Structures are given as C-alpha cells and as structure tokens.
Amino acid sequence: MLTVHRTFEAYLDTMETITILVPKSYCQGIVRSFTIQTPNGERRALQIMKREDLWTSIKYECIPDVPVEIGKSYFIYEEHGAFTDLQMGAVIRTEAFDEQFYYDGDLGITYSNDATTFKLWAPTATEVKLKLINKAGKEEQISMQRGEKGVWCATVLGNLDGIYYTYLACINLVWREAVDPYAVAVSVNGEYGVVVDLAKTRVPKPALPPLAAPVDAIIYEMHVRDFTIDPHSGVVHKGKYLGLTEFPTTEPSGTVTGLAYLKQLGVTHVELLPVNDFAGVDEHAPEKAYNWGYNPLHYNAPEGSYATDPYDPYARIHELKRAIRALQQEGIRVILDVVYNHVYIREQSSLEKLVPGYYFRHDAYGMPSNGTGVGNDLAPERKMVRKLIVDSVRFWLTEYGVDGFRFDLMGILDIDTMKEVEAVVRALHPSALLLGEGWDLPTPLPSEKKATMQNAHLLPTIAFFNDRFRDYVKGSTFHLGEQGFVLGNSEHREQVKRVIEGSHHLFSQPTQTVNYVESHDNHTLWDKMSIANYYERETIRKKRQKLATAMTLLAQGIPFLHSGQEFYRTKQGIENSYNAPDDINRIDWTRKSMHEEDVRYVQGLIRLRKWHGAFRFQTVEEIRNYLVWLEPMPSTVLAFHLYDVSAYGPWRDIIVIHHNEETELTVTLPDEERWHVVCDETRSGIDPLYTATKKIELQGIGTVVLVKGLT
C-alpha cells in the first residue's frame, strides 16, 4: 500500500494521549464518542479530554484506558461508523519513547562466509521485510522478526558477498523501501546497500607517533577531486581517491604536485571534505557535475564518484583506504569532514522512511526545523540519533584508521553527543583531532545545550573554527569591502592581538582555537582582496596574503590552511562554489609553478612553527608567562616578544613583527644584543638570514622574525 485515504486522522502523541482530527467536511467535525480497536480485535472506549475548534477541523484529545503497544496496529472508530488507523505522531519525540526503545547493541550487517545477519531499528513498524537482489537481478523478500527495543532481525544462510539489499517497512499502513542507515557499502548512487566482506579491504596502517598536542597540528583542507583534477596535475587517476596515492608527480614545468607536494610543504594533517556517500554527482557520469559533498546520503559508505569503478562496491572502500594510508605513510594524518547535522532530502532519507519524525528536530508547531539552512536538522539529543553518530565515528576510526574529525555545523549538535563522541575517540585514538564549526544556529535546542563556541568551556578538548581570528585578520567574510589588519585596516588592532595570543577570551586553552583566514566556504582571500583592495597592484596583494598566512602559522592555536592558499588560490570570484565546475574549484598546479618562491616562503613558515614550541603553547598560563607585546608601536605594526623560552626550543628569545603598510619603518628592539633574522618579507625558515642590533628595518608589508640565544 503506497497511500491511504482517511476520513479522519488519529495520532499517538504521547504514551497516554491520542489526538484525533475530524475535518469539518465530515459531520461538521462533530463526534461525541470514539473507540479504539486493539490488535486482538477488542473495542475500548476513548475518553475525550479536550475539544478544540481549528480552522478546517475539530481536534479531540483523548485518553485510552489500555496502554498502546507501539509496533502493533490499532484502529479508531467514531460514532457514525467511520474508522481510521492510529498513526505514530509526536510520541516518537518524547523521552518516554527514547527510554523504552533505546538499543545499545549492533545494527547493520554481520557478515561471514556461512551466513549474514541483518539488524534494523524500526520500532514504529508493524512489519519489516528484507529485500535481497542477487547479481542476476533476481529479488527475494524475507520477513524479519521483531525483537526487543524495536530491532528487527533476519539471518540468511549462505555466502551473500556482493548481494544488494534494502528494507521494506510498513509504518502507518504504508510500505516504504529504504537503504540500511548502517550500510557500509552501497551500489552506484547509493540506491542499494551491499553485503561486503570488509576483511578483503584491509590495508595496513603505518605506525605514526602520537601527536603530542593539538597545537602541533598544521591542517591543510582539501577536496579529493579538486586536488588532482587539473589537466596539468601529472596525476593519472585525476579527481579520484587513487590520485592521492601517486608519488611523485609533477606539473609539465617540473613543479611537484599531489602527495609529494603535501609532503614537501610540511603540513601534518589533511582535512578531506566529505568522502561519505553524498548526492549531487551522478556516479554514472561523475564528470558532468561537481559537489563539495555536504549532501549526505549514507554516513558509513564512501562516495563512489571518487572511485575508479563506482559500480564495484569494493572499489570505493579499498581505494579510499589506500588514499588514507598513502597520506599516513608520508607522515600526514587524515581528518574527515563529517556532516552529522542534516541529510540531503529529509523525506527521501532512510532515516525518515524507517522511523518517520524521529531523527529530525521539529518546532513547536510540529514542523521540521531548519537551522542548517538546507531544510532539516538532525536531532542527536535523541538517544538513537546520538547512537547513529557515535557508531559512525567509531566505524571510521576502526575500519579506516583516520586521525580526526571536523564536524560540519557542529553547533546543531548537542554537548552531550559531542562528549560521547569524544569519549569514544579518545579511547580508540587518544591523539586524534576533534574540531568543528561552533556557530549558534536557529535550531530548537536550548542554547545551553548546543555545541557552540559560546559553550566551548564545556568541551575543553574539542577545537572550534575561530571566526574572530578570520574576520579581524582579513576583514569580514560576508562584507567583501571590509578590510581587516592584513588588508591595511588597523582599526581593530587590539582585537587582532587577542586572537594572535590564543583567543583566551573565547576559549579555555589555545588548543581550542582553529586559526584561519580562508576555507572552502565563501571567497578565497585572493578573491576578497580583488574587491576590498582592488586599487592595489597584484604584487602588493600578494604581500598581504603572505602576511595573512604568516599570522595564521605563527599565532597561538591550531593553524588551518585552505589548499592553494599558499599560491593565491582563486575561484574566479565565486563565493559559494559547492557545485561550480572543475575549472572554478580545481587546484591550479600551473599557478603553483608560477609562485614557487611564495610556496617556499610558506614551507619556511611551517618549518619555523615546528622548530620551536614557543609558537605552540598548550596553555593560557604559558602564553601569559612568556608572550609580551612590544609597545608603543605604530598602528600598522604588531610585535610580540617570546622571552626566556629556551625550554621550548633552540632559541631563548623570539620576536615576531607583523607590518601591514607598504612603507619602510624602523622598529626598536628591546635590548642591544645581536638578533638573528630567520624570516623577513621574502624569506623564511630556521636558518639565520642576517643579524640586527638595536633596531630592525621593515621593508614594507610582511612578517619579520628575529631570534637570539641559540642553544
């Protein structure tokens, strides 16, 4: 049955109350008595507690005199003889429902050569069938047995490796077909789940030393397809997982590209935009469309458009694992960008089909909330939604061996869910990074429960993208003409000082701030400057971008670079390039070859940060003890002194000077000793370039780093 015609409607809204809506087109909506028919055919009277006149119907709130068993069929009769089925209403969003049906066991498939067990949580279903499709296309339906907590189970004998499957669930008299929410493998475009033997996909993980502290990370955000799709990338498997495994590769002029470039650059982590199965790219013809990947379909199965063969369910799994291992083999850890805040289309998602109304937030009027801006918000404050997320994180850690997670729109999630995620991650991978977008979004969850920046003190080991750093350093992301410090505006100089020293007015420790000036979202810094600083020559704008990158890499906290930022990445002025073509989103390796000197400058900054722990303090106390601002200074200059820091690295003292104006300027040094310059406006690294005594001459826009007390 696909649809049901109902004369009137009845909903179980709590464990004790039934709401009945009788349209005024039927007996003017007036009914004096109702009865409920139980699954054994017995009729019992309903007590009408309240009657309310609505615009087109009369609403009755009733109480049954027998408990309603969820998962069984009930019918409501009215005095004139009409009847309707009792549908599952708001009861599924009650704490009582959560308590009764929370299940802490395994879900999805358990495979062996001899049999496969399928488990599905669908407590409101009255019947569930397992649909199997073999390689010849022949279908078979198997009735599943309902167990405790609304979990349906079926064990099928034989070796089902490669068999496609879905679930058929009857809910509110309507049969719905859905892919397993716990599917670890899917067919092309995610149409079916697939039974696979994950043991066949094992790829040994190299032994990497634990990350001593989050501030030791240097994160490089990249998109699988963007990174190698350029015709000049020198990569064979362009735009694919395997493109990340090729080593070494070069652009026609000889410039290093791909994985070899990442190793050469020196970043410690790459953050991959979503690699779980998503909508927006037809896997039959992936070259015809592009998407960032924030349209989640299946949380535990890899995206097929990045595989060499999307028709082979094993290919995407094995090739993603190979890509992750290739990065790790070169000492680069892997963070996954995960999207546990919404699904692509709520009505079409497996979650909504299998337990309608449960997995998503609703407002006071019963309408789906939209804090994410894409039409739906997941509700992880509910126990089985939280379990779905925690189980998914555990799966990616154990099966794919990743090194961290970036939570998209983390502010949609609740604090308790993030704490549970954190506990699981720390138990499995103590030095894994956890970071997220802590924006406060308009979703119906109390502010004190949201995993937002405002509540960062409640999540002290999770890092947050610091939009204050971003906007004070470069200028507003959303007002393109607005200039920050690096674009020449010194108006917010004091605020810039605070974000450079770890934003301890926002966070408990510097390990919580992710410092960045651009990411995949919004305009690149280069494109913003083409508007905000349109009147300046490109050579001046390049100096400003190098200054921004230097400020990011030398600030206290966790530095984050957008791929291509180091060679002035442009998206041709496109702000939201989530579905723009490859020629907008691709990494332009020819552009990299044109700016090799600037890339070497960023490499030197990365080496400098790694070289001395004073750039990577882990506590607010250390920053207060060892970082002093040099004042007075012209408004165009920010200068700080890291003093007596030989315990943290090979230099006793370090001075960092940022200058945002294209004029020569003399800065007086705090003593008359000889200082070694290791970074200036054009060169950077750990080796002395020249010396300065008493003063240093700034040659225009840029960063200068001086050191002394070599040990």
Would strands 219-222 and 558-562 be described as parallel, antiparallel, or unpaired?
parallel
**From residue 386, how far is each of 74, 379, 397, 706 by CA, in Å?**
30, 8, 17, 50
Mean pLDDT confidence for 122-128: 99
Cβ atoms 687, 678 nearer than 8 A:
yes
Q: What is the amino acid identity at position 320?
A: L
pLDDT reading at 641 higher than 90 = yes
CB neighbours of 33 closer than 8 A, spacing ≥ 6?
Answer: 45, 46, 48, 78, 79
Instruction: Give the separation between CA 491 and CA 311, rounded to whole angstroms.
Output: 56
Task: Give 683-704 pLDDT, tens digit per residue.
Answer: 999 999 999 999 999 999 999 9
**From residue 662, how far is each of 219, 495, 542, 595 by CA, in Å?**
30, 22, 12, 21
**Which residue's entry shows tokens 């890339």?**
599
pLDDT reading at 1 higher than 60 = no
Task: Give 667-685 pLDDT, tens digit per residue.
Answer: 999 999 999 999 999 999 9
- List the alpha helices (DSSP H) in 414-554: 415-428, 467-474, 493-500, 525-532, 538-554
Instruction: Give the separation between CA 422 and CA 462, rounded to whole angstroms.
Output: 8
- List the alpha helices (DSSP H) in 522-635: 525-532, 538-554, 582-585, 589-594, 596-611, 620-626
The pLDDT confidence band at residue 58, using thresholds 50, 70 and 90, is very high
Instruction: Give the separation between CA 282 and CA 269, rounded to whole angstroms.
Output: 30
The predicted pLDDT at position 2 comes to 58
The predicted pLDDT at position 710 comes to 83
Average pLDDT, the chain: 98
Instruction: Give the separation between CA 67 and CA 132, rounded to whole angstroms.
Output: 36
Backbone angles phi, psi at 550, to 5 degrees: -65, -40
Residue 337 in tokens: 């960008």
Cβ atoms 559, 552 nearer than 8 A:
yes
Task: Give 288-330 pLDDT, tens digit per residue.
Answer: 999 999 999 999 999 999 999 999 999 999 999 999 999 999 9
Would strands 433-436 and 463-465 be described as parallel, antiparallel, or unpaired?
parallel
pLDDT reading at 116 higher than 90 = yes
The percentage of the chain sitting over the pLDDT mark of 70, rounded to a whole number, equals: 99
The predicted pLDDT at position 442 comes to 98
Task: Give 362-410 pLDDT, tens digit per residue.
Answer: 999 999 999 999 999 999 999 999 999 999 999 999 999 999 999 999 9
Instruction: Give the separation between CA 97 and CA 268, rounded to whole angstroms.
Output: 45
Mean pLDDT confidence for 206-221: 97
Q: What is the DSSP letter of 668?
A: E
**Which residue's entry shows tokens 């070497």?**
600
Cβ atoms 193, 581 nearer than 8 A:
no
Mean pLDDT confidence for 75-79: 97
Q: Which of 381, 408, 501, 527 is catalytic?
A: 408
Longest dimension (CA), the chain: 100
Mean pLDDT confidence for 235-255: 98
Residue 129 in tokens: 């069938």
Instruction: Give the separation between CA 466 and CA 514, rounded to whole angstroms.
Output: 6
pLDDT reading at 217 higher than 70 = yes
* Domains recognised in the chain with CATH numbers: 9-88 (2.60.40.2320), 98-201 (2.60.40.10), 626-708 (2.60.40.1180)
Task: Give 322-348 pLDDT, tens digit per residue.
Answer: 999 999 999 999 999 999 999 999 999
Which of 423, 222, 405, 238 is CA-nearest to residue 327? 222
Instruction: Give the separation between CA 41 and CA 481, rounded to whole angstroms.
Output: 71
Mean pLDDT confidence for 529-551: 99
> How is 85-145 classified by DSSP, letter by letter?
EEEE-GGGGSHHHHHHH---S--EEEE-SSEEEEEEE-TT-SEEEEEEE-TT--EEEEEPE
The percentage of the chain sitting over the pLDDT mark of 90, rounded to a whole number, equals: 99
Residue 408 bears catalytic tag? yes
- Cβ-based neighbour number of residue 447 at 10 Å: 10
Q: How many residues does the chain have?
A: 711
- List the alpha helices (DSSP H) in 330-367: 350-354
- Cβ-based neighbour number of residue 133 at 10 Å: 16
Number of H helices, E strands in the chain: 15, 36
CB neighbours of 26 closer than 8 A, spacing ≥ 6?
Answer: 7, 8, 82
Q: Which of 230, 303, 437, 518 is catalytic?
A: 437
pLDDT reading at 579 higher than 90 = yes
Q: What is the amino acid identity at position 208?
A: L
Sign of CA dihedral 253, 322, 316, 339: negative
pLDDT reading at 4 higher than 50 = yes
Task: Give 500-529 pLDDT, tens digit per residue.
Answer: 999 999 999 999 999 999 999 999 999 999
For 49, the enclosing helix (H) or strand (E) is strand 43-53
Task: Give 150-173 pLDDT, tens digit per residue.
Answer: 999 999 999 999 999 999 999 999
Task: Give 403-433 pLDDT, tens digit per residue.
Answer: 999 999 999 999 999 999 999 999 999 999 9
pTM of the model: 0.97
**From residue 188, how far is each of 242, 246, 281, 337, 352 by CA, in Å?**
18, 25, 11, 22, 21
